Amino acid sequence: MIVSKEISNWIKSYAGEYNRDSLVIGISGGVDSSVVSTLCAMTELPVFVLTMPIRQKEDQNSLSMKHGEWLVKKYNNVSHCIIPLDSVYNSFQDSLGSSFDNEHAFANTKSRLRMVTLHQISASKKGIVVGTGNKIEDFGVGFFTKYGDGGVDISPIADLMKSEVYSLGKELGILQEILDAPPTDGLWEDGRTDKEQLGGLTYDELERSMKIEEQSILCISKEESEKLIRYQDIRKANLHKMEPIPVFQRSNFLEKNDIKLWDDL
C-alpha cells in the first residue's frame, strides 16, 4: 500500500499548496476512476464523486452506483452525487444533429458535458477536478477526449500502466465486479469496449508495445511487431491531444524573412 499512500499524499499536498478545499471526480464504474476516487477518499479531504449518466447502459451505470455506495460506506468524507445529463445532451443533439451530425463527435460531447459539470461543482466547492487517465491512455495512444476527460487539474495515475492500476485496485479492495468488467469509456450507446475502439488491442498488448517503443527493444516476435505497428498508428492519429497547442511564433517568421519587429517599423 506504499504507492497508494504516496499518491494520496501527493493529491492532498497539491490541494493544500493551491489552497483548495475539496476534490471532485467523475466515476464511471471502471477500474481507473474507482482507484482514483478511492485514493482521493484516503486524503480525508471532502470528496465529491459524481455519477453522470447520459443514455447509459444499465450495467455500466450500475457499477458506478455500486462503487459510489461502497465509497460512502467506507469513507465519511465522501459525498456521492448522481447528476443525470440526458436532457442536456438531448437538447444539444437536437440543436446540432440535423446539420452537424457525427457519431464520434457526439460521443465526445458526452465526455465534455461531464467535464463541464465537474468544473462547475469544483468551482462551487473550491475544489480541484481529479483526472482518471492512466499512462497508456494519456501518453501512449491518446485514448481520451480533448477538453473532455482530458480537461482535469491533476492526474494521479497518469504515470501508471493499466496493469499497475489493476494491482492498486486489488490492494484497495475495489469491487471485484469492477475489476472483472471489460474496460469501456461508456460513451457509446452500443456499449463498445476499449478493445473494440483500439484496433482490437488489449491493454496488456498496448502496454507491451509502449514498452517496446520507449525502450527501443529490437528482439521482438512477428506478432509483437504487427501489434507495435497498430499501436503506432493509433498513437500517431492522436498525437495532437498529447502535444502542446501549436502557437505561431512571430519571432521565427520575422527572422526568417529578415523583417524587423513591428514595434520598430
pLDDT in tens, 156-183: 999 999 999 999 999 999 999 999 999 9
Q: Which residue has the cell 484516503?
A: 42
> pLDDT tens digits, residue range 42-93?
999 999 999 999 998 888 889 999 999 999 999 999 999 999 999 999 999 9
Q: Residue range 215-236: average pLDDT?
A: 95
Pairing type for strands 22-26 and 78-82 reads unpaired
Residues making up the chain, counted from first to last: 265
pLDDT mean across residues, the chain: 93
Scanning the structure block, which residue is given the C-alpha cell 499501436?
Answer: 231
pTM of the full structure = 0.92
Phi (first) and psi of residue 18, to 5 degrees: -105, 20
Find cell 459525498 and name the residue: 79
Q: Residues with Cβ < 8 Å from 233, sequence gap 6 or more?
A: 199
**pLDDT band at residue 98 under the 50/70/90 scheme:** confident
Query: Does the 2-242 domain belong in CATH 3.50.50.60?
Result: no
- Residue-level pLDDT at 260: 59
Could you tell me the residue ranges of all domains in the chain? 2-242
User: What is the structure's pLDDT at 257?
Assistant: 67
* Residue 168, pLDDT score: 97
With pLDDT > 70 as the criterion, what percentage of the chain qualifies?
A: 95
Grid-cell match 501508471, residue found: 160
